[in-house]
Structure 1
């Protein structure tokens, strides 16, 4: 499911001539906002429910360089969810379907007034259930990775 599309802006290009690492994070953050809107928690939904989403953890993997003006398409797959959390996997692709980067994220639903975790409102939960979900035995290759120096 393509959740977000954009192009590499000139101001995102660093002294190495490609998109700066922080800008990959920006694109994935915007893709996450698009996901949040898809499940009904855009500005109006947040106001209506008094509910929002926080990012608890993010793991970025850089696979290829992106250059100024290049098209970026971000796919989203739901790896897992429960009553108040989403474990999502984003893949950033170019127009030729080359994998540029991935971002695995753990998101938590929060009541805005208390700032405490809380189950998704019913309509939001039903939209979460409609998201494309990876089979537990067929997660994307880069999902679930840990960071470390291999010895």
Structure 2
């Protein structure tokens, strides 16, 4: 499911002539915002429910360079969820379906008044249940990775 579409802006290009690493994170952040809006926690939803989403952890993998003006499409897969958390996987592709980068994220639902984790309001939980999921036994190859020097 494509959750976000954009293109590489000129100001995102670094001295190496391709999209700066921080800008990949920007695009994935925009994709996360699109997800949050889709499940009903846009500005009006946040105000109505007194509820928001925080990012707890992100793991970004760079696979290919992106260049100025290049189209970017970000797909979403829900890896797992519970009453207040979303484990999501975003994959960024160019318009030729080349994988450019991935971002695996753990998101937490938060009650705004207390600033504490809280279960999703029921309408939000229903929308979460409708998100595209892969088989829990067969995650994307780049999901669940750890960082380390292999010896």
Same fold, TM-score > 0.5, yes or no: yes
Q: 1:3 deviation in Å? A: 0.1
Residues 2-151 of structure 1: matches in 2 within 5 Å? 2-151=2-151
* Structure 1: segments with no counterpart, 5+ residues: none
Q: 1:134 deviation in Å? A: 1.2
Structure 1 segments, 4+ long, off by >6 Å, are none
Q: C-alpha distance in 1, partners of 2:97/2:82?
A: 31
Relative to the length of structure 1, the TM-score reads 1.00
Q: 1:137 deviation in Å? A: 1.3
CA RMSD of aligned residues (A): 0.3
Indicate the SS of the match to 2:18: coil
Aligned length: 151
Q: C-alpha distance in 1, partners of 2:120/2:28?
A: 22
Q: C-alpha distance in 1, partners of 2:112/2:136?
A: 32
Q: 1:95 deviation in Å? A: 0.4
Q: 1:7 deviation in Å? A: 0.3
Indicate the SS of the match to 1:79: strand
Q: Deviations over 1:32-84 (max 9, x none)?
A: 00000000000000000000000000000000000000000000000000000
